[in-house]
Structure 1
Amino acid sequence: MLKGSLSHYSPLSQLMMSLLVVVGSFFLCMFVGSVLAYLIFDVNIFTETESIDINGDAVNLSVLKFYQAIYSTGMFIIPPFIIAFFVHNKVSTYLFLNKKALLSQIILASISIVVALPLINLLAEINSHLQLPEFLSGVEQWMRETELQAEKVTKKFLLMETPYDLLINLIIIAIIPAFGEELLFRGVIQRIFSNLTKNVHWGIFITAFLFAALHMQFFGFLPRIAMGMLFGYLLIWTKSLWVPILAHLVNNGMAVCVSYFINKGQLPEDVEKIGGSGTGVWISGIISLILVGTLLFSLYGSRERQSE
């Protein structure tokens, strides 16, 4: 019987198997996505490459967003269920999807994400001033060019004129990544590295590091490590993947909604710079850290109420 057949494998073997599943699922879904793109949009991405070239004038954002959804599904959502099927007798238990979270935990986690924004902006400010040693100047230049490219892609994706555009972006940028990335990173990878290192804290940190690295936005590396660690501890403290999924959704959803209302002129452009600049970003960041710490301490204490 295939279900749970690899449960006796070592964490390292499970990690290698997980990597193969992710790569295999990714390429299979990309192939399926190519076929569907041709059937739905009448676009052959192999011959009409300009339609998915984000820097080109002929880019088809509808096709690009469709492909983004397929890519995310193939890489993040499908693999965790396949991996869980092979290494555990109960898929939902392995992925921490079987346990409902307390309403208080969901509220505390969501508020923590909002309150953490000045702290995240402070980390981004610190990150922006970090420099690599001189002998790695070429790597740093590549990192900056990659960052600029990622910013261009993000700006084009976040151009929204109608509520329909907002809905599509919420699905592609908020809902699918929140569900998929938490399934793969917190549901699978964090468990494997915690078992591999025999230390849950190392498991959380390594997973957060990989989570930040995957986004290929190096000058947002520190904020993403912090967010990844937050999501990791939310899972450990609540034993429910639904809590980090909802927290991740709140984080991504806020970014999409704020961008939409800025584009519509209903919010000032500097609203994203919560915490200000200069000395102000340090003061607001430290206050944010204290408030987030207080909220997380309350959430940590909720573990006992959940086990009653």
Structure 2
Amino acid sequence: MAAEESQPSESSFIDSVASITQHLPVSSDRVLGSRNTNKPPSQTAQSLFYALKGEIIDTNGPFFIEKEGIPPEIGYLVTRSLSENNEVEGKGVRISYNPINQTLCIKMPSHSHDVILAWGSNELVRAGMTGFFTTPELDEVSLFSACRFDNFPIPWQSVYKEPDMVFVYGPRDLPTVLVEVGYSQSWPRLLQDKDVWFQAAPTVNVVVLVKWNRCTNSRVAGYLELFRRGVPTPTHIDIFPTPTPPAPQTLTFRRDDFYPPGTTLPAGRSPNDLWQWDINNLRMRTTRAMSADGTVPA
């Protein structure tokens, strides 16, 4: 995770972020086009920054903004600059930029959107209580929400991600397991986010995608899919509507999912040890959160 940096002032936007473009990657013509790094950021970048900043500050409540066709030298610059702006930071938004599809996304989560962190935190506490993780192991496996990742290796330096929930091992700067949640964001866009994680971050073993869909009469349906690196078929679980008849359901992780590839596991631990997350607990927590959003499960 990138260290926090000083906030660039608006009046010096162009000068204060000019150095960022000098360190962007050049991989292939398809992903990152060639550019003259001696030129200052374009007026397009400045205009986009101010337009998005204004929209974020003027909007209250959950929202989703998606801008397509933003080239990497602009997308990364604007995304990074928004993330370092005091007024934008105060709105609690999550920002991402995908150079593969050249899409910049900004979301302010709803209560239902954010429930995934409460679920994951609860499961982590239970893992410590049951002994799946010992206290020293919990010191190495950390859970975060909405933290910034913009330190991807060549040729992916223009990727910028703030996942909804993420596990990071030890001192590593990239995650091992993460969750991306989509409400207004389409399923194809979530799949593209999953793809860029697997391509850009060699430490990522598992990506979980959660998709909520607003239906009629304020009802919300949802499902999740777990994608494991190298496994062609994901695990699919319907959340709402609740399957009939109700039965215990779990989302299954393996111990080695939470360690970067090649890491030696703690003594006596098997990579195939299973950590089961309770889906009914997720349903309960989401139902409570939906009431605050004025919605109900489908």
> TM-score, normalised to structure 1's length?
0.31
Higher helix share: 1
Higher RCO (C-alpha 8 Å, min separation 6): 1
Q: TM-score, normalised by structure 2?
A: 0.32
Tell me which protein shows more strand as a share of its residues.
2
